[in-house]
Amino acid sequence: MARRPQDYDEDDVRVRPGRRGSRPRTRRRPAHDDAVNGFVTAVDRGRYQVLVEEDRMVTAMRARELGRKGVVVGDRVALVGDVSGEPDSLARIVRVEPRTSSLRRTADDTDPFERIIVANADQLVIVTALANPEPRPRMIDRQLVAAYDAGMDPLLVLTKADLAPPDDLLAEYAPLGIPYVVTVQGKDQTGELLPHLTGRISVLVGHSGVGKSTLVNALVPEAERAVSHVNAVTGRGRHTSSSAIALPLPGDEGWIIDTPGVRSFGLAHIKPENVINAFEDLAEGAAERCPPHCDHLQEDCGLDEWVAEGHASKARLDSLRRLLASREGDAE
């Protein structure tokens, strides 16, 4: 019976000899001590773009032996096979290194599982327009929770400052002490932002139309991300593509990972401890005064007492509670 393309896997593919010559094909799997290391920059229909030795992009697929283990943008992997990066060459990913962070996309109607979308990033850049579309604090709160849970530092980028002032929004987030940058398209848009990104792996998130692609194009002009038009009626943009992609910042000074089409994050399995740990002043009080498994939203929470005694500010506690409460309800 003829096999359909999806019945084939990487073991069926005859790899072309690499630069170092060919090795005989064998059914015995090698130990992979000759594997080279790489960084996954894009994933598209089972094909992975992997940067190897910081000088070439290699196309690879998952080796069967990885089992169900997923490979996502940001993963550090080991590759065997044809790692030349030449046209039509294909390598195999045989190992995924342990992740330092995992950002999860929320489950949706068609997919009941939360899925990791980006690995190893250390900063979540929350992009919000000051107008057109209007800022949505609940969405920002949920993104902050996702950042804290994933072990990433948040950075707020407020775009379209030519359309509305940032003061009210900044006042709302001031108790959280989150670093922020305010931008206007075309006006030295990246000058203040770049120092925050240098040397880090940052994931850019934001609702459609907030100006993410415009920012990415200013940061990495070669990326030529498609810029959409905000619908005059809904105030929203259109998703122009849908998978995460890592782009190197000029001078190899870090990475930004764009996540078009990702609207919300999986908050279902988040533990309140992970969020509260981002609030040092309150984490101490929680450890000392709260009952076991306190979700910090009930009356028996010891943090009110902690704040009343002057160990932390009420505004900080209110902000923490707002974040914790944002996990409930629709993902937006």
Ligand X SMILES: Nc1nc2c(ncn2[C@@H]2O[C@H](COP(=O)(O)OP(=O)(O)OP(=O)(O)O)[C@@H](O)[C@H]2O)c(=O)[nH]1
Is residue 314 marked as binding? no
230 binds ligand X (CB under 6 A): yes
285 binds ligand X (CB under 6 A): no
Distance CA 83, CA 92 (A): 9
Q: Nearest-CA neighbor of 122 among 151, 88, 146, 159? A: 151
| Vertex 173: Cα angle to 168 and 174 (nearest 5) | 95
Considering only residues 104, 212, 296, 327, which one is a binding residue for ligand X as defined by CB under 6 A? 212
Q: How far is the CB of 240 from ligand X (least distance, A)?
A: 4
Q: How far is the CB of 147 from ligand X (least distance, A)?
A: 18
Distance CA 143, CA 194 (A): 21
Tokens of 280: 């040092």
Tokens of 141: 């709160």
Our CB check for ligand X shows the closer of 196 and 236 to be 236
Stretch that binds ligand X, among 86-94, 143-151, 158-166, 167-175 (CB under 6 A): 158-166
CB 84 within 8 A of CB 52: no
The dihedral formed by the CA atoms of 106, 108, 113 and 118, expressed in degrees to the nearest 10 = -40
159 binds ligand X (CB under 6 A): yes
Considering only residues 214, 259, 319, 326, which one is a binding residue for ligand X as defined by CB under 6 A? 214
Our CB check for ligand X shows the closer of 81 and 211 to be 211
Tally Cβ neighbours within 10 Å of residue 83.
26
Residues binding ligand X: what is the number (CB under 6 A)? 23
Q: Binders of ligand X among 258-277, rule CB under 6 A?
A: 260
Stretch that binds ligand X, among 78-86, 232-240, 243-251, 280-288 (CB under 6 A): 232-240
293 binds ligand X (CB under 6 A): no
DSSP string, 163-184: TS-SHHHHHHHGGGT--EEE--
Is residue 162 marked as binding? yes
CB 133 within 8 A of CB 207: yes
Distance CA 113, CA 111 (A): 6
162 binds ligand X (CB under 6 A): yes
Is residue 207 marked as binding? yes
Q: Where does this chain bind ligand X (CB under 6 A)?
A: 159-160, 162-163, 184-185, 206, 208-214, 227-230, 237-240, 260
